[in-house]
Structure 1
Amino acid sequence: MEILLWLVPSVVVAVVAMLWVAWLGREGRGEVDRDVAVRRLGDALEGDRRRRRRPAPGYAAPQPEVDRSTGIAVRPSRRAS
């Protein structure tokens, strides 16, 4: 049991750090006005639509490869030598 005494300082430091962080975080980041929060949410939801852009003229966007997966693992065939 005496060999575990070297853990005591580490445990004390960890517990004090947890209590300190819990004390600092209990007040939160402050109150946000409901109207401001709704406006921010609306902006975030509309942001995806506004950010979509068409490619520049003369630029062809790469087409994604078609996944030909059948769900079955198949080894590539080998040529007989």
Structure 2
Amino acid sequence: MDILLWLVPPLVVTFGAMLWVTWLGRARRGEVDRDVAVRRLGHALEKDLPRADPVVRLRERSTGIAVRPTRDAS
């Protein structure tokens, strides 16, 4: 049980660092105006998607057993 108590300080520091980094990441995040967001979404939805080229399927390799031709014993 005493060995497990050694894990408490690193766990507290790790959890504190996770909370701190999460808070820092949210602090830089700015609010986007709703009208601007709707305009951007509308613009993105109006774009035509690029057409994909048809996929050329290659002939599948045989998965059977390879058989060597017999040698002529002359």
**How much has 1:7 moved relative to structure 2?**
0.6
CA root-mean-square deviation: 2.7
* Count of matched residue positions in the alignment of Structure 1 and Structure 2: 57
Q: Which amino acid aligns with 2:41?
A: L
Structure-2 residue corresponding to 1:23: 23
* Matched ranges for 1:55-74 at <5 A: 61-62=54-55
Matches of 1:26 and 1:54 in 2, distance apart?
38
Which portions of structure 1, spanning 4 or more consecutive aligned residues, are displaced by more than 3 angstroms?
25-28
Structure-2 residue corresponding to 1:51: 49
Matches of 2:52 and 2:18 in 1, distance apart?
49
User: What runs of 5+ residues in structure 1 fail to find an aligned partner?
Assistant: 56-60, 65-81
Q: Which amino acid aligns with 2:9?
A: P
User: What runs of 5+ residues in structure 2 fail to find an aligned partner?
Assistant: 58-74
Identity %: 65
Structure-1 residue corresponding to 2:64: none
Higher Rg of the two aligned structures:
2
CA deviation map 1:26-58 (0-9, x unaligned): 4361121222101111122223xx123375xxx
Matches of 1:39 and 1:54 in 2, distance apart?
27
